[in-house]
């Protein structure tokens, strides 16, 4: 999907917002349609999740399209963080209604949603800045000073382990997307030029090896995070998807995560965000 940059009119703005929203949902579905991702839900199995499967995640992604479009329009209209937050909260509510209360995409709504708003803002103004820089410069301070639910898993991980989680990632302009995932996508294409699923697996493993994922901290504590990072690092050190038997090795790691109830949901979200940014910043 190609998206041209300048938005000239209200009709043009809505057309582009529609494309941005569709692309965001498509990237969520591409992430789901990737196997084997350690501990995560895919079209093959439910990983370490008893309450969701690929069909539920795709239904959730479809529900979110309209909200991603609305965030792109809001960004194009110069919205501040309180308007974006209201749309994000409405999206979370719609997700919970569509999934009978399952948290399928809370982290993804937040990260991809901010990137959609940045895409709208950048297109409306014809800017050349990266989407991450737009998020950080326009909304970074408000992201950090905004309301936090003290009982959320992220807040608990921040208090116990000093992990910044989804908020710090966004406020810093998504360093895990720009410095880790995008270089990994590019490097993986030289190893597996005809296999986009393998490219996504290599990128997912690179994210798991490097990100302080609050989902892993919540489910496994620092030991769980260390185990996940070491497993992904060993996969990469053995040649990643360039190694002949890589699929069997990745399936073993997936099963080891499931046995420990570990799921790197933050890395899954960041993979979807990287696919989105890559298509908009090509």
Ligand X SMILES: Nc1ncnc2c1ncn2[C@@H]1O[C@H](COP(=O)(O)OP(=O)(O)OP(=O)(O)O)[C@@H](O)[C@H]1O
Q: Which residues bind ligand COD (CB under 6 A)?
A: 71, 84-85, 88-89, 106-107, 109-111, 113-114, 152-155, 157, 165-167, 169, 176, 211-215, 265-266, 269-270
**Contact in structure between 213 and 225 (CB atoms under 8 Å):** yes
Residue 263 interacts with which of ligand COD, ligand X, none, CB < 5 to 8 Å by class: ligand X
Determine the Cα angle at 213 with ends 246 and 107, to 5°: 105
Q: Per CB under 6 A, does 207 bind ligand X?
A: no
Q: 74-84 burial by CB neighbour count: b if 16+ within 10 A, else e?
A: bbbeebebebb
Q: Is the dihedral of CA 174, 180, 183, 184 positive or negative?
A: negative
Query: Which one, 167 or 249, has the nearer CB to ligand COD?
Result: 167
Q: 224-251 burial by CB neighbour count: b if 16+ within 10 A, else e?
A: bbebbbebbeebbeeebbeeeebeebbe
**Contact in structure between 240 and 250 (CB atoms under 8 Å):** no
Q: Per CB under 6 A, does 263 bind ligand X?
A: yes
Q: Provide, rounded to whole angstroms, the least separation between the CB of residue 166 and ligand COD.
A: 4
**Contact in structure between 266 and 166 (CB atoms under 8 Å):** yes
Q: Provide, rounded to whole angstroms, the least separation between the CB of residue 154 and ligand X.
A: 8
Query: Which one, 153 or 260, has the nearer CB to ligand COD?
Result: 153
Chosen residue from 16, 35, 138, 153 binding ligand X by CB under 6 A: 153
Q: Provide, rounded to whole angstroms, the least separation between the CB of residue 163 and ligand X.
A: 14
Chosen residue from 65, 215, 229, 231 binding ligand X by CB under 6 A: 215
Q: Per CB under 6 A, does 269 bind ligand X?
A: yes
Q: Per CB under 6 A, does 103 bind ligand X?
A: yes
Q: Name which of 228, 230, 209, 203 is nearest 218 in CA terms.
A: 228
Chosen residue from 174, 176, 265, 273 binding ligand X by CB under 6 A: 265
Q: Per CB under 6 A, does 106 bind ligand X?
A: yes
| Number of helices followed by number of strands (H, E) in the chain | 13, 0
State both tokens at 183. Answer: 């270089």
Residue 85 interacts with which of ligand COD, ligand X, none, CB < 5 to 8 Å by class: ligand COD
Binding residues vs ligand X (CB under 6 A): 31-32, 40-41, 49, 57, 103, 105-108, 153, 215, 218-219, 263, 265, 268-269
């Amino acid at each position: 999907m190609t998206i041209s940059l300048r938005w000239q009119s209200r009709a043009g703005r809505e057309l582009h917002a529609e494309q941005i929203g569709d692309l965001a949902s498509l990237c969520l579905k591409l992430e789901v349609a990737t196997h084997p991702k350690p501990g995560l839900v895919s079209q093959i199995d439910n990983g370490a999740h008893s309450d969701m499967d690929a069909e539920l995640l795709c239904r959730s992604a479809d529900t979110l399209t309209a909200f991603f479009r609305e965030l792109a329009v809001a960004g194009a209209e110069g919205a501040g963080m309180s308007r974006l937050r209201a749309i994000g909260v409405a999206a979370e509510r719609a997700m919970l209604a569509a999934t009978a209360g399952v948290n399928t995409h809370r982290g993804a709504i937040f990260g991809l949603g901010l990137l959609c708003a940045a895409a709208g803002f950048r297109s409306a103004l014809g800017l050349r800045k990266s989407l991450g820089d737009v998020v950080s410069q326009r909304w970074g301070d408000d992201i950090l000073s905004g309301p936090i639910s003290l009982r959320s898993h992220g807040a608990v991980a921040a208090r116990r382990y000093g992990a910044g989680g989804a908020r710090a990632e966004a406020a810093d302009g998504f360093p895990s997307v720009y410095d880790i995932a995008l270089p990994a996508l590019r490097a993986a294409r030289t190893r597996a030029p005809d296999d986009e699923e393998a490219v996504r697996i290599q990128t997912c493993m690179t994210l798991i090896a490097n990100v302080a994922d609050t989902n892993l901290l919540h489910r496994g504590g620092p030991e769980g995070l260390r185990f996940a990072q070491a497993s992904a690092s060993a996969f990469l050190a053995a040649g990643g998807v360039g190694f002949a038997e890589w699929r069997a090795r990745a399936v073993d790691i997936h099963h080891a995560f499931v046995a420990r109830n570990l799921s790197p949901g933050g890395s899954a979200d960041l993979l979807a965000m990287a696919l989105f940014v890559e298509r908009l910043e090509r």
